[in-house]
Chain A
Amino acid sequence: MLASAHPWLKRDWPLLVCLSIPAILAVGLLLYMAGWVLVMSFTDLSLFGRKATEWSFIGLENYERLFTRRGFLESLWVTVIFTFFSSIIGQNILGFVLAGTLRNQPGLLRSSIESAVILGWVLPDVVAAFLWSATFTPNGLVDLAILQPLSIETRNLINDHPLLIVILANIWKGTAWSYILYSAALDSVPREVSEAAKVDGATPMQRMFFITLPMIKSHIATNCLFITIGSFVYFPLIFALTGGGPGTKTQVLSIFVYNESFSVGKLGYGSAISVAMLIIVAIMSIFYVRLLREPK
């Protein structure tokens, strides 16, 4: 590494070391944390009780539990549904459609929709959860403004369709990111290229599928990388809105980890779930990073 370094760095060892400290700290901390979780995942460490102090190594038992006990696979499935529909389908497509349709719109319309979208993004999760809860609970906004005037029976919508509401909330909360990223991406497609396609006879749909989308492929991959990982490990909004319930209907992996580790108190098992999540996220990242590669 030193051989390829800038000449003045080679001459100045103390400076090189000083400049490396943040990197060393960051990598060291990461390895320490990951190592700690990995080690714990092979133990029966508890948050409280006897095993909080007298824990022992139990081999792969925690990992066996992932597949033999109820909980993990169900949560994984809920997480996959949640992530797929709220990020890949929801945020991704809605963000693209908004970016595509708003970029040629006059100022006021554009800025008001933009503000609304970004407001959802900057609102603290707990506040957002309260708003969604106030909208969909019995005697909430939907109930008072729509159901009661139409004499439809009052119902608890969050109870009836918890996963749907959580997915919608996450789409609303996260679309701004995709919108901003795709707005920038669409600006990177030169107007003349799109016009050349127009002269070549491409309809707006053909221009989108044959020209625009392939040209912003790397932006799409970057966006999907961020939003899938973001949604896959997302915790606060869901926890504040449903707490993972009713039952385990909205218990995504992050809530499952939290419950197992801090409610049930099985820190060892929680660590194993975390390691599993880490591996899944790593696999997804590799997939997207491969998509990001330019064709030779």
Chain B
Amino acid sequence: MSGVSLRNVRKSYGNHEVIHGIDLEIDPGDFIVFVGPSGCGKSTLLRMIAGLEGITDGTISIEGNVVNDVPSPQRGISMVFQSYALYPHMTVQQNMAFGLKLRRTPIERIKETVGAAAKSLQLDSYIDRFPKALSGGQRQRVAIGRAIVREPKVFLFDEPLSNLDAALRNQTRIEIARLHRSMDATMIYVTHDQIEALTLATKIAVLKDGVLQQFATPDEIYNRPANVFVAGFMGAPPMNLIDGTIEETADGELHIRLARKELGDVLIPLKNVPEHRKRLGQPVVFGLRPEAISLAAESSDASLSKIECKIDYVEVTGADRITVCDFSEGRMFARLPAGADVSEGDQVTFHFNADNISLFDKDTGLRIESAQNA
């Protein structure tokens, strides 16, 4: 039995369809992150699971029960909102107890549950304060506490960290991860921040324009993106995507010839497999993670592929140096170690292992399976 199951879920506003038939099977206890650019429908999908938006078509089930027409409170869910959505006229204690009171939980039990939740969230010394007397991080913890005390089967988080500053965001992220480990509940989390997605999720659902692009583990999403969109969206800086053509050498070996003349005449060896052979002469998109690139040295392994480029910009992030090569359209990023001796205007040779690349069909944008690192 799955924790949450979405089958062909659709949502339209009038004639305008925003969610185009999404299928997802979420196992109990999983931490699922919906990620995608603004307007991709991730929040709408979450609100549909919460029961705050109707479903135009399809079914949503929670623990095997279809909940399409079940009102929010009876779905066994709790939700943490982006704006915290605390009740401003109630104290921390009252905020957390509100849902329990409505369910006519005995007072003693409410006190116990709220007390325990407050303690675990280090809110016990603020229990009688009003939300306006709390910091952003504390408010967020109250919102999480309010969700915990109802002991839901499914936790829903709608961009809960986006109103916090960077340091607090990292800290709260760790707390949420810990919360997931300590509770046996399914969590669904919406974010546009891929770091949150990659660090928190057991599985990530990448959405674009109301269509599910890929649903897989963070590792798989990162290393084997299902299409050009996922490749370009996940990762910062994103995967470099460069057009090329599959060609055959005189001795029958396959390689990709890159279309970017700025990079020199680059030939990347390809495995001689039918999947590649049948695309001979066809345009493909070659994908390379910036961190798979390193600066070529005299002693470099001759088996590594090489590309040349002129560095237009160097971004120092502390731990790394990210170099940017601008093309007439698009750009190429390389993530080099902090000590790398590069500066703007340098003409450099990069190398990378051709076994570590992704390959996509130019027309459909889909990953060509059995590509190098498959």
Contacts and interface: CB of A to CB of B under 8 A. Distances in A.
B52 A201 contact: no
Nearest to B79: A199
Interface stretch (A189-197, A241-249, A259-267): A189-197
B190 to A, nearest CB: 13
A214 B82 CA distance: 22
Interface stretch (B85-93, B176-184, B229-237, B323-331): B85-93
B99 A200 contact: yes
A48 interface: no
Contact of B77 (A190, A193, A199, A217): A199
A196 B79 contact: yes
A284 interface: no
A102 interface: no
Nearest to A202: B102
Nearest to A296: B130
A82 B9 CA distance: 56
A200 B88 CA distance: 15
Contact of A198 (B73, B83, B88, B130): B73
B72 A199 contact: yes
Contacts of B87: 193, 196-197, 211, 215
B85 A196 contact: yes
Contact of A195 (B52, B77, B103): B52
Contacts of A14: none
B146 interface: yes
Given A192-B83, A206-B102, A199 B89 contact: no
A192 B85 contact: yes
B52 A198 contact: yes
Nearest to B75: A199
Among A192, A193, A199, A210, find the residue whose CB has the most chain B CB atoms closer than 10 A.
A199
B198 interface: no
Contacts, number: 58
Interface string A252-296: 000000000000000000000000000000000000000000010
Interface string B37-51: 000000000000011
Nearest to B102: A201
Contacts of A214: 89
Given A190-B83, A192-B82, A206-B102, A200 B150 contact: yes
A87 B72 CA distance: 37
B81 interface: yes
A219 to B, nearest CB: 13
A210 B98 contact: yes
Given A214-B89, A217-B89, A200 B146 contact: yes
A295 B131 CA distance: 12
A211 B89 CA distance: 8
B89 A201 contact: no
Contact of B99 (A195, A201, A211): A201
Contact of A196 (B81, B102, B103): B81
A215 B95 CA distance: 13
Interface string B174-213: 0000000000000000000000000000000000000000
B78 interface: yes
B351 to A, nearest CB: 51
Contacts of A199: 50-52, 72-73, 77-79, 99
A37 B161 CA distance: 62
A200 B77 CA distance: 9
Contacts of A198: 52, 72-73
A211 B87 CA distance: 7
Contacts of B88: 193, 215
Interface string A29-55: 000000000000000000000000000
A4 to B, nearest CB: 26
Given A199-B50, A199-B79, A193 B86 contact: yes
A190 B85 contact: yes
B161 to A, nearest CB: 15
B177 to A, nearest CB: 23
Nearest to A195: B52
A215 B113 CA distance: 26
B130 to A, nearest CB: 7
Nearest to B88: A215
Contact of B98 (A190, A200, A215, A217): A200
B25 to A, nearest CB: 24
Interface in B266-318: none
Interface of A: 190, 192-193, 195-202, 206, 210-211, 214-215, 217, 295
Given A196-B79, A295-B130, 5 more contacts: A199-B78, A199-B79, A200-B150, A210-B98, A215-B87
30 contacts: A190-B85, A192-B82, A192-B83, A193-B85, A193-B87, A195-B52, A195-B79, A196-B85, A196-B86, A197-B87, A197-B98, A198-B52, A198-B73, A199-B51, A199-B73, A199-B78, A199-B79, A200-B98, A200-B146, A201-B72, A201-B102, A201-B103, A202-B73, A202-B98, A206-B102, A211-B87, A215-B87, A215-B88, A215-B89, A217-B89
